[in-house]
Chains A and B, each alone.
Chain A
Amino acid sequence: NAGVTQTPKFQVLKTGQSMTLQCAQDMNHEYMSWYRQDPGMGLRLIHYSVGAGITDQGEVPNGYNVSRSTTEDFPLRLLSAAPSQTSVYFCASSYSIRYSGNTIYFGEGSWLTVV
């Protein structure tokens, strides 16, 4: 049981490049989400998914796409990277959103720098 696995851990991109941050969980969790955390700030929700084939926008979705083709994977795509997307990205998952007492598990983070 590896929990929530994010790759890559570190990435440097040039402005305008695209890339995908990978997130996988092996706990059969329904709920998965992506957050970004800027220096000195709390986490802000980018996109989330409540099951395979279902995604929705969070607080700061612009510039990012997601898909959920399987229960296990929830990749985050940066379409055309901008310096404003320099941040630390966290993937999170939990078993079911129908019960709000479920623990949320976070990945270790992906540090992204856009130059």
Chain B
Amino acid sequence: DAKTTQPNSMESNEEEPVHLPCNHSTISGTDYIHWYRQLPSQGPEYVIHGLTSNVNNRMASLAIAEDRKSSTLILHRATLRDAAVYYCILRSAGAGGTSYGKLTFGQGTILTVHP
């Protein structure tokens, strides 16, 4: 299965932009890049996902490198509520293969936001 590499931790100040990097050099052509975050004592929640093009939603932006071997989650203005563990995950399409239906989490990046 393709794996992701993220920094263990990052820090930001409130209302500043945050760029969370993720390396996924063994990504396959059909793997989607998903980002989830987990607040303390809660289950992970969806942030954003993409395949090839950059993506924007109300929570964040996802910038995907042209070769797809890395991506960056961008929080445009960090708030204290954004303090969480952020997971970058590759999700493979089904229809057979050893990665059928699986989702592999790495350690994630602990984001600390200072007031």
Residues of chain A whose beta carbon lies under 8 Å from any beta carbon of chain B: 4, 31, 33, 35, 41-45, 48-50, 56, 58-59, 90, 92, 96-101, 103-109
Contacts and interface: CB of A to CB of B under 8 A. Distances in A.
Given A96-B94, A109-B43, A56 B101 contact: yes
B105 A50 contact: no
Contacts, number: 71
B76 to A, nearest CB: 21
Contacts of B49: 101, 103
Contact-residue size bin, chain B (C-beta under 8 Å from the other chain): 20 to 34
Interface in B76-99: 87, 91-95
Q: Which 9 A-B pairs have the closest CB atoms?
A: A106-B43, A97-B94, A42-B105, A100-B93, A100-B91, A43-B105, A100-B32, A97-B101, A98-B94
Interface of B: 30-32, 34, 36, 41-46, 49, 51, 87, 91-95, 100-108
A31 B105 CA distance: 17
A80 B100 CA distance: 29
B32 A103 contact: no
Contacts of B103: 33, 45, 92, 104
A101 B51 contact: yes
Contacts of A50: 94, 100-101
